[in-house]
Chain A
Amino acid sequence: QQPVQSPQAVILREGEDAVINCSSSKALYSVHWYRQKHGEAPVFLMILLKGGEQKGHDKISASFNEKKQQSSLYLTASQLSYSGTYFCGTEIGGRQLTFGSGTQLTVLP
């Protein structure tokens, strides 16, 4: 079952923050976050495996709630290079990922 991503699109100015949410109706084994630029393949950002987990790299971080049904991606002090479409991929077991519909992020100068 496809996870629900929100918002569908967001426009920011450089330096502003954004949050992208990913929700599932079932408990998940893991959540994977990817960023895809137009015409390119998705690039892996991070994976969350444990309920209550939070992790990050540079100014991009993510959380996985205790029930393991909801994850959020946090983009802090956004840069122009953050523009792209962000997908969450959810796993309920078996290693296959089901991707959300994506969130198109545009960072303006």
Chain B
Amino acid sequence: GAVVSQHPSWVICKSGTSVKIECRSLDFQATTMFWYRQFPKQSLMLMATSNEGSKATYEQGVEKDKFLINHASLTLSTLTVTSAHPEDSSFYICSAALGGADTQYFGPGTRLTVL
């Protein structure tokens, strides 16, 4: 149980384009989903907390207009990187928390490369 999927696994795009990443909880309903970014050999940095049906809460320094988050249902959250630039290239990972529980289950991650 507690499986989280992400799509796509990897994406390569040109500078200036937008990329959408989907995060799905497959076998449970997630009232809260989290989006992280991880640069090579570094720790996971929380970007935003997404609650179903409400606006995401962004961490300090994360541009909400650049990283659009939508949590339309209890099983799906999306992250759209708008007008991507090479410095946005990173490993993006989502996690989902079971309602009322503390454990976060991570998706397999999406590797974004912006040329």
Contacts and interface: CB of A to CB of B under 8 A. Distances in A.
A32 B107 CA distance: 16
Interface residues of B, number: 19
Contacts of A89: 44, 104
Interface residues of A, number: 23
A58 interface: no
A60 interface: no
Given A95-B32, A95-B97, A41 B46 contact: no
Contact of B102 (A43, A91, A100): A91
Nearest to B94: A41
Contact of B93 (A2, A42, A47): A42
A30 B102 CA distance: 8
Interface of B: 32, 34, 42-46, 49, 93, 97, 102-109, 111
5 contacts: A41-B106, A41-B109, A47-B103, A96-B46, A97-B104
